[in-house]
Amino acid sequence: MNRLKFLALSVFAIFTLSSCGSMSGGYSLSGAAIQPDWQTIYVATFPNYAPQQNPTLSQDLTIAVQDIFRSRTKLKLNSNENSDLIIEGEISGYDVAPQAIQSNDIAAENRLTVYVKIRYINNKDETKSYERTFSAFQPYDGNAMLSTVEPNIVPKIIEDIRDQVFASIAMDW
């Protein structure tokens, strides 16, 4: 019975503290490293320099990164480089590699990996700025053509890279 009371009190405390944070106008945990005086963010279009191309990857990735900062922080999306925070970079790889090779030298599974080089410029705190490459992958059946699985796996890869970029900036990871 004591465990049940402790659990109930813990849940109550978590909900109380989280609602206080949002009512006070402060940042939620999702934007913990973003300071209140940081007001604007500019996310440049990510050009696609990968040897193998996906025609919508540049636009889809750019929009995904813009949307996560717009929806999870109080930063205002800006259309110029005079912003407090700047995210720019390029898609540098879009690679397919065989994974599970069978005895007949045929891949039972392939893996699509996307690499994105990010330059983060923090005009408010230059010590936070960095240049880093992020990557994400999705496996798919070795018998499937990439063109048939791309509509299902590319959005998952974009989501993963978007989340990595967000965590590295907003959570200071």
Spatial neighbors of 154 by CB under 8 A, at least 6 apart, are 54, 57, 60, 112, 114, 138
Query: Helices 57-72 and 146-170 meet at what angle, rounded to 10?
Result: 30
Tens-binned pLDDT, residue by residue, of the chain (173 aa): 444 444 444 444 443 344 344 333 333 445 567 898 899 999 999 999 999 999 999 999 999 999 999 999 999 999 988 999 999 999 999 999 998 777 666 778 999 999 999 999 999 999 999 999 999 999 999 889 999 999 999 999 999 999 999 999 998 77
Report the DSSP beta bridge partners of residue 162.
Answer: none
Between CA 123 and CA 72 the distance in angstroms is 20
pTM value is 0.79
CB distance 84 to 41 below 8 Å? yes
